[in-house]
Structure 1
Amino acid sequence: MIIAESGDLNRFAHYRQYVNYCGFNLSASQSGERCSGYSLSKRGNARLRYAFWLATTVAVRMQENTLRNKYECYIREHGDTPDQRRKAVVAVATKLARIAHSVVKNDTDYQRYFDISHGT
């Protein structure tokens, strides 16, 4: 579903263009001098965003992988509320979109790696 919705990924020169196409980019909510923060723009392909959401929920439930580690690190830093869990899934889905773009664009197989954390 991801490949079908994305089309030819070689048309995106950088992964940020693909992330924007998926609708995972952030937009500022501001009026005049007020800035109430950033939220997901949702100005991309909704079906593609949903496909990454589903893939992320499966990846987060698996035992050992870097996507689960990123999810747990986000929860540890920001708290374990339903809103923070949703934001963590979106952060991991964005990382998964970057990985998918890289794998397809470079025509390589996915090689699992583990993030090296600095500090405690």
Structure 2
Amino acid sequence: MKFTKDHEWVEVTGDVALVGITAYAANALGDVVFVEVPEVGKALKKGDSFAVVESVKAASDVYAPVSGEVVEANTELPNSPDLVNAAPEGAGWIAKVKLSDASELDALMDRPAYEAFLDTL
């Protein structure tokens, strides 16, 4: 699993990246009440906003940690947004993205580096 400084995570299998927000982000948001998932077929450029997570505290954009095409969205989230809180790095995933440039993964942090980054916040 790889992480961004914007608190997204990526887990790659083959040429498809599973993407979501980290437990840190989910805890910071509080109780998630709505998730807008991206449309299948949407082209993403690394850094683009591609989803929205709303909580009782705030709404937060989710940024694409990698470039590619959305091949699947988590259709459970609009009806069960609490999955983001219950399992942010599991069942609360947001989208699957077919990678267009796997080298972008090299710029992401592994878990120890991400945890070290969190210690600086």
Higher Rg: 1
Same fold (TM over 0.5): no
More helix, by proportion: 1
- TM (normalized to structure 2)? 0.23
- TM (normalized to structure 1)? 0.24
Which structure has more RCO (C-alpha within 8 Å, separation ≥ 6)?
A: 2
More strand, by proportion: 2
